[in-house]
Amino acid sequence: MNTTPRWLDAEERRAWMAYIDFSTLLGDYLNRQLRRDAGMTHADYTLLSHLSSVPDHVLGMSELARRLKITRSRLTHAVTRLRDAGLVDRREDPADGRGQLAVLTEEGIAVLEEAAPGHVDAVRRAVFDALSREQVRQLAEIGEAIGDALHRVEAVETDPAVLPWRRR
């Protein structure tokens, strides 16, 4: 277990640094843009747009958390805030007494539609205007590959039984 780690080589280090740098910059940039122009976080925007893209604009909390790749706790806090702001509503799940549903309100739809053009514009400037068609495709594949890897890794760490020989 304590073999020398395989350090990153020059190319990997270059890629990793580029990723850290641009993801830091991009996250900050999108948050600033949305906060300034629409009074919301990028996380808020993503949440609202997930709801808006679904029939009836309703989704169970757990399902929404899964889609957003965030913890339920974080989602609860976020929905509380968005409910206070009038953009989202809670609703009991008629099918499961434990369940809660999150619904986009009329106002939520309006605010999202108001914010969307500026946000898309920012994303375009920062990302897609800088990439070739080919790179857009590459980014999709790289992102999906890493996403899949993370799902596998998390599965292992959450449920050690999957890999019984793993330490801890």
Partner DNA sequence: TGCTAATGCTTGACAGTTCAAACATCTCGA
Partner DNA sequence: TCGAGATGTTTGAACTGTCAAGCATTAGCA
Q: Which residues bind a second copy (CB under 8 A)?
A: 4-8, 11-12, 14-16, 18-29, 46, 68-70, 116-117, 120-121, 123-131, 133, 135-151, 153-154
Q: Which residue has the tokens 């400037």?
A: 125
Q: Fill in the amino acid letter for 46.
A: T
Cβ(103)–Cβ(51) below 8 Å = yes
Residues 92-131 that bind DNA (CB under 7 A): 93, 96-101
Q: If binding means CB under 7 A, how many residues of this protein chain bind DNA?
A: 33
Binding flags for DNA, 51-90, as an x/- string (CB under 7 A)? ---------xxxx-x----xxxxxxxxxxxx--------x
Q: How buried is residue 65: exposed, middle or buried, by Cβ count under 10 Å (0-12/13-18/19+)?
A: buried
Closer CB to DNA, 10 or 95, in the complex: 95
Determine which residue in the list 22, 26, 41, 67 makes contact with DNA, applying CB under 7 A.
41
Minimum distance between the CB of residue 81 and DNA, rounded to whole angstroms? Answer: 5
Dig out the tokens for 99 from the structure.
């369940």
First to last CA, the chain: 11
Minimum distance between the CB of residue 36 and DNA, rounded to whole angstroms? Answer: 7
Cβ atoms within 10 Å, residue 5 = 6
Cβ(144)–Cβ(136) below 8 Å = no
Minimum distance between the CB of residue 67 and DNA, rounded to whole angstroms? Answer: 12
23 touches DNA (CB under 7 A): no
